[in-house]
Structure 1
Amino acid sequence: MSYKKAFLTLVGLLSFGMASFAQRFEVGAHAGGSSYMGDLNQYNPIKISGIEAGAFVKLNFNPHLALGLHYNYGKVQGNDASSNNEQFRQRNLSFFTPLNEFSLLLDFNFFDMFAYNGRRRFTPFLFGGVGTVLFEPKAQYEGETYKLRLYNTEGQPKSYKSYALTFPIGAGTKYKLNDSWTLFTQVGFRIPLTDYIDDVSGLYPDPTVWTRNQGLSRALSDRSGEKTGIYIGDPGTQRGDFRKRDSYMFVGIGISYTFVSQKCFTF
């Protein structure tokens, strides 16, 4: 074989490999709603309390498995004053927080939608993985917004971290519009390793634990008497529930684009 033929053969192989890789590369975006389960919402996991939006880049290893880098933004909130539970209304705590999540997720498609001109256009899918979520619970008090983490509202010796490891799991459906564009819906449940998404976890503290901002820390810790003048947050009594972790959920619809560089879309 001449050098020219060998060179052309190598170029052809590289071009084929790059085309095959391009077929597997996918980008997408989605939007919807977010909810949270925790000390201020203990019983309704599908109570949407804010918006959600995200984007991803994904590598499809074969028609069924894909690995993606994902970014999700959400906002959740809770307010005891609007609760159906009388004890919660007496407690009168509230919070809101943005959620910025970065994750690595593995997808599993039940059906092969990617064959060129294939008959299947629909598949359910599952996903799971690991990530990091950044949060910063805040509350309105006397017309001002306060970052609750900075006021040690449960008498912690130091502020809890504003980030946590999180484990997303979920399911959805995909519908192929054509060889490149796909519509999808998904519901994703998150299990972060923290109980402070809402700044509430354990017990009301002894006020003497605060060495600075004592008045403001105490006011943000126990807000039960703001309307009645009767405060129920006695030191050592329960402020939160007995669950060890809060959780949150994103639900939405989206669209993705798969880069197809040749007619035979095979893996």
Structure 2
Amino acid sequence: MKLIKSLFIVFSFFFLNIESFAQKIEIGGGLGAMNYKGDISPDFHPSFAQLGGHLLFRYNLKKDVTFRLSTTFGSIYGNDKEVSDSFNQQRGQTFKTSIKEVSLVTEYNFFSYQYSRMHKDWSPYVFGGIGFMGFSPRDTPVSDYKQAGVIIPFGVGIKYNLTGPWDLNLEFGTRKTFTDYLDNLGGDNPALSRNIQNDYSRGDMYYYTSLALTYKFIKIYCPK
């Protein structure tokens, strides 16, 4: 009899913790625009935006702290001819590169963010972390460079509770990379004369602006 009681207590504790853990889980996905900054686009050019998408898994540790694992995919594009700088106009290069990434970030909500039956919550937030990306240029690579590497994702966003467990997330994120070949133009390119080589002292960056729909596994108590 004591053994049965002990097992009952253990299993009750186990399942209660599973339920508590599940209510901190959030999943979702979204679409957005990828952009790039580098040699072919020294400044941010909205006209170079390409379609991207992502899936996410979020663990809401506290009302203001969240851990997020996500995978993102899309492409970036640039064209010297569409840039006003005379150097870019003379060079006349263009590129398109597909990107896949996995990242783990920590989010900090400025307001305590949680679901409530009495009101719709919202909060601005910031995030930062680490990730890994792989990329593939449309054209033949100019050299035998690595097409994968570590990235540092960071950015800002806004969370808004639509209804019940459903939320909308609007986010702008930057990816700091450690490569100058996203635009297939890093280092010495034998196809270009020396006077129109790129500035390979600067690394490329890319951006992802997105709108996501997420679902939280929460228990909603309905009055009888």
What is the match of residue 18 of structure 2? 18
When the two structures are aligned, how many residues end up with a matched partner?
Answer: 222
Matching residue within 235, 244, 250 for 2:202: 244
Report Cα offsets for 1:62-121 as digits up to 9, x if no partner. 111121221001211111122222321221111101110111111111222215435461
Q: Which residue of 2 aligns with 1:257?
A: 215
Contact 1:36 1:47 in 2 (8 A): no
Instruction: Verify the 8 A CA contact 2:115 2:121 in the aligned structure 1.
Output: no
- In the TM superposition, 1:82-93 aligns within 5 A as 82-93=82-93
1:59-74 mapped onto 2 (5 Å cutoff)? 59-74=59-74
**Which structure 2 residue ranges, 5 or more long, are not aligned?**
none
> Shift of the alpha carbon at 1:258?
0.9
The offset of 1:58, in angstroms, is 1.6
Query: Are residues 1:170 and 2:148 paired?
Result: no
1:8 CA drift (Å)? 3.2
Could you tell me which residue of structure 2 aligns to residue 213 of structure 1?
none
1:38 pairs with 2:38? yes
Q: Is the aligned partner of 1:185 residue 2:170?
A: yes
Task: Give the equivalent residue in structure 2 for 1:211.
Answer: none
Instruction: Give the TM-score taking structure 2 as reference length.
Output: 0.90
Deviation at 1:238, TM superposition (A): 4.5
Q: Deviations over 1:201-222 (max 9, x none)?
A: 34454xxxxxxxxxxxxxxx23
CA distance in 2, matches of 1:110, 1:71: 24
SS of residue matched to 1:103: strand
Structure 1 stretch displaced more, 94-103 or 109-118? 109-118
Alpha-carbon contact 1:191-1:246 (below 8 Å) kept: yes
Instruction: Say which SS state the counterpart of residue 195 (structure 2) adopts.
Output: coil
> 1:117 is aligned with what amino acid?
R
Matched residue, 1:210: none
Instruction: Give aligned-pair identity as a percent.
Output: 27
The runs of 5 or more residues in structure 1 that have no matched partner are 139-145, 153-158, 206-220, 223-232
Using structure 1 for the length normalisation, give the TM-score: 0.76
- The answer (yes or no) to whether the contact 1:64–1:108 under 8 Å persists in 2 is yes
Counterparts of 2:153 and 2:46, CA distance in 1: 16
State how 1:149-160 maps to structure 2 within 5 Å: 149=141, 151-152=142-143, 159-160=144-145
Q: Which has the higher strand share?
A: 2
Deviations 1:121-141 (A, max 9, x none): 110111111111111222xxx
Q: Which residue of 2 aligns with 1:196?
A: 181
Residues 229-249 of structure 1 show CA distances to partners (whole Å, capped at 9, x for unaligned) of xxxx2xx43511254200000
Greater Cα radius of gyration, structure 1 or 2 = 1
